[in-house]
Amino acid sequence: MDKAIKIERLTKKFGSFVAVNNISFEVPKGCIFGLLGPNGSGKTTTIKIICGVLRATEGYVEVLGKDASKYPEEVRQNIGYVSQKFSLYEDLTIEENINFYGAVYGLSKNEIETKKKQLVKLFKFEGREKSQVSTLSGGMKQKLAFACATLHNPQILILDEPTAGVDPISRKEYWEMIKFFSNSGVTVLVTTHYMDEAERCDVVAFMFNGILKEIDTPYNVKKKYMSDSIEDVFVKVFSE
């Protein structure tokens, strides 16, 4: 199976602190890969290295066949990133944010207009295009961030706790969008503290104190730990 992301013996140190400790894993193309773990476990540091924002202390990260440390710009061009904290412009409208980020990604005006029409329909923004972002709910803001992250047709979407603090209906709609893009062939790497979301992933990996503790399909990890849910597995893994 083709790999979208390949990580070998990855270590990241900040002085004497080891944020990521000799981890290795692969993310198959087109899958939804859940990276799970408590705060401070090294998830976001790993993501920043994958995106080419941070350099690894040791080890190797390959994204779509490219060394992330040697070709960070090419890697970033193929990644759409959404952070937990809303990162778009609150004083702009929905369509103004889409126009702005489309230009940042180098799309032509015609391409932006075409994508905007598609995204407004797909993310259910109809009638709200001219709404200032500061007036939107948290769930709507995160859906807009998701939409903008897909403007340049990235092959990989990286979503870092995108539904934290979002209401249940918006979370459901958000995951419908994740599934839509995954079914379209886009690889999705998502971090979450919601174990019902982890159940929807094709593969789950558990990190703790910078160490990769477990990685497999939800079905297989539940079977291994004789648990009925990923939440039970989560408790058992981090109690060892």
Radius of gyration over alpha carbons of the chain, in Å?
Answer: 18
**What is the set of domains in the chain, with CATH numbers?**
1-78+156-240 (3.40.50.300), 88-153 (no CATH)
What pLDDT does residue 80 have? 95
The angle, 0 to 180 degrees and rounded to 10, between the axes of the packed helices 109-122 and 94-104 is 130
pLDDT at 166: 84
Distance in angstroms between the alpha carbons of the first and the last residue of the chain: 32
- Give the other-Cβ count within 10 Å of 55's Cβ: 12
DSSP state of 239: T
Neighbouring residues of 142: CB distance < 8 A, sequence distance ≥ 6? 82, 86, 162, 163, 166, 170, 174
Alpha-carbon span 136 to 145, nearest angstrom: 12
pLDDT score, position 18: 96
Amino acid identity, position 180: F
Query: Which of the 8 DSSP states describes residue 133?
Result: G
**In this predicted model, what pLDDT tens digit does every residue of 116-159 receive, in sequence order?**
999 999 999 999 999 999 999 888 999 999 999 999 999 999 99
| Of the candidates 15, 73, 24, 17, the residue with the CA atom closest to the CA atom of residue 46 | 24
Residue 209 CB neighbours (<10 A):
15
In this prediction, residue 164 carries a pLDDT of 86
User: In the prediction, which pLDDT does 88 show?
Assistant: 86
Give CA–CA dist 201/187, Å, rounded: 11
- 36, 215 Cβ separation under 8 angstroms: no
Instruction: Using DSSP, state whether 207 is helix, strand or coil.
Output: strand
Tokens representing 156?
Answer: 């990989």
Q: What is the pLDDT of residue 83?
A: 84
| Antiparallel, parallel or unpaired: β 3-14 and 58-63 | antiparallel
Residue type, 80: G
pLDDT for the residue 238: 84
| Residue 132 per-residue DSSP state | B
In this structure, which amino acid lies at residue 117?
K
| DSSP H or E segment with residue 79 | strand 79-82
Stretches where the chain sits below pLDDT 70 are 1
Nearest C-alpha neighbor of 94 from the set 54, 16, 146: 146
